[in-house]
Structure 1
């Protein structure tokens, strides 16, 4: 029995240092006293406009359809139909076209679109901060760049201690009021128009720099594609 109790005590002590907290609007992973916050991501498949991208790349390189067709060993009519989305190229044909245009096939297959988020439609999110209203200004499926707008009441602050965001680079820009940005080494007082940029690996926290005035800031989180 004593051996069993000692074993159970060891398991509980290990679990004390690592726990996972799930919230409806975020995942928070806590390892000892460091928090990793992740903004909500909506994963969805999007069709790639291959023909439109190939045509755009051709025009940027000042090439004609005939020149691309000759260099790729494909017919002029086929290249024209591909660009007009009237037919889909085979893998071999796509590789030939990409080789002529000097672009990686993955770049052509990536989906891109212009998405407008109206201020009134921006979804509210809850990152557990105190006296702060936050909205996600970028599409929920967007991963490379995310923009978060925070409206901080007087005395508003991050709801946890030091934390890091799930990104490679993070910037904060003050639209109105002021905030105090705290890192492990120093505190920075940021006023209207000021911007601070830090590594996604830098633990930090923040608070409204005033006890009587509201502060409005934009947070920019970027993921760097290293493929």
Structure 2
């Protein structure tokens, strides 16, 4: 299997849940027609991340801070359906607004694509394979984005499950941060038959699924009363 195909498949598979988050942003600003610009920006930024990922991930507190922000994103995802995100009315499709939305997409993507970025960085450092693989994968993902958005709007549990797994990955990242290595090892020594990171990650999934289901039921009650 060529490096291009590996990069393509890894990005395509890992973006299934990521597109729920990025899709929420693109859905709100549909009138700006940012599909192609978003693909180009994400291809560029992800390529840069692959090149420098090994240096970035060594910084203390990087995983900790990234995990905390991801937890916040996951929390919002399980509590708010895509139907609850209104499409913004076209006031002025200025270049400033387009640049602002693209920057928001790129910043959000930095937090949610790091798992695939780290895998890709271990496969190849060839710009051609990285750029083509990521671009083709994003093109397919965003072309089918309306289908993903419609599914998430129709089946509320898709948002909840995606948010729960994002929260799980964020907790794993937080507890793997070098800053917390000492406390985590100490707890594992106190309780040798338990694996703190795995227990915390699995517990996070359960908690976020409960939060999502409760929030959905509350939204349904409000809708019915209206």
> Which bin holds the TM-score, normalised by the shorter protein?
under 0.3
Question: Looking at CA atoms only, which structure, 1 or 2, has the larger radius of gyration?
Answer: 1
Normalization by structure 1: what TM-score?
0.20
Looking at secondary structure, tell me which structure has more helix per residue.
Answer: 2
Looking at both structures, which has the greater relative contact order when contacts are Cα pairs under 8 Å and sequence separation is at least 6? 2
Which structure features the higher share of strand residues? 1
